[in-house]
Chain A
């Protein structure tokens, strides 16, 4: 358990640093692809809901440290997404393109819906958590575009995860 959580943590922290430092150069209309979210969803489906929740909670706090969001915001968001994605473990097999793309749409919409829920629940006065906007659409399209690449990356790390993948 600890070994798996450490592995997930290391990969997600790296993804977080890459996203926050390098993705600013590929922004379109102030939007960059959510590499961290996609990777986290694939990991969650792979490892199941318990590990996904725990790693989502931890990495969520790391995102909160680097963001102007209130503390706990991303911890809540990623815990819930991890739980939902983790429940899909073993339910279906992923191919290389279609499922990653569909998952990227679902994950982006889920993220935005949970954000709206959080903003409503805690009366937060924060930016941009809209479901139907151009930026939301740009983010979905961007995530769809990189989803197969992220899935390929995730799959190519199979020896690192150390488990035979059930997707094959």
Chain B
């Protein structure tokens, strides 16, 4: 009787141990290996994420359409007045021409990239603040593969965002370069020195470049641009990564520690461009 009660009292503790050991085993096991159940789970759950984002987009577009309809009606009434008063239809044509020119301009961004590329939309972020994954709305079906480089246009610059680490049929997960486990081979645009860039976590505004020899210090200046080197890397060369913010030379270290301000503001990202890799490029 007494033993039974003690057993019941400790039942939740036994359960805790079993569950913690199981989840701990998963962490250890999946550290080096991409585990299939994760992809299956991602496939299923990201489907719903896509659904929610799609519904919100639809609602937003519907509301926008109503607004646009209202605005269109006002514009129409104005146009009628204008036509009646001074035959102002030409102005409308000029406005259309301007819009057309703007759209062409935007289209050229995508066309100017020398790699085959795929514009994608962010449908979800990592559910946990500690991590920085980004879920996008395209996957295997659209030609995205694991390790495909991901970029974005911000302030008229094509900047490196990260790489694909998990792909399902219609969605993928991007690991950004500011993640602590991201590494990118980089080069300084002016001085041509090379180094290895790593993230400092999504809670830090900077990236860190290491393994740059101390002799490079005099030729590195604040705001110098950093680009991908393309050396034995999954990232093609020449993509902008950031600008030098500070250079530290420690006495006991043979290489420099360079902090870089990324060209991409990761909290402002909405649309991304996935570069579809050609085997010949690698």
Give residues in A with beta carbon < 8 Å to B.
16-24, 27, 29-32, 34, 36, 48-50, 53-54, 57, 60-76, 79-80, 83, 86, 112, 115, 118, 121-122, 124-130, 133-135, 139
Are B38's CB and A65's CB within 8 A?
A: yes
- Cβ of A127 and Cβ of B19 under 8 Å apart? no
Give the number of residues in B that approach A within 8 Å (Cβ atoms). Answer: 56
CA distance A122 to B23 in the complex (A): 12
Contact A76 B27 (CB under 8 A): yes
List B residues at the A interface (Cβ < 8 Å). 11-12, 15-16, 19-20, 22-31, 35, 37-38, 41-42, 44-46, 48-49, 52-53, 56, 122-133, 135, 165, 173, 175, 178-181, 199, 201-204, 266-267
Classify the interface of chain A: helix, strand, loop or mixed.
helix
Given contacts A66-B45, A125-B180, whether A23 and B24 have CB atoms under 8 Å apart is: no
Q: Is the CB of B201 within 8 A of A128?
A: yes
CA distance A57 to B48 in the complex (A): 20
Task: Write the nearest CB–CB distance from B23 to chain A, whole angstroms.
Answer: 4
**Chain A residues within 8 Å of B52, by CB:** 17-18, 21-22
Q: Given A19-B127, A20-B124, A126-B131, does the pair A76, B12 have CB atoms closer than 8 Å?
A: no
Q: A62's closest neighbor in chain B, by CB?
A: B45
A20-B126 in contact given A30-B267, A70-B31 (Cβ < 8 Å): yes
A61-B41 contact, Cβ under 8 Å, with A30-B203, A53-B15, A76-B27? yes
Measured CB to CB, the closest approach of chain B to A35, in angstroms, equals 10
Q: When chains A and B are docked, how far (Å) is the Cα of A67 from the Cα of B130? A: 10
Closest to B173 in A: A68
User: Which of B23, B38, B135 is close to A57, meaning CB atoms less than 8 Å apart?
Assistant: B23
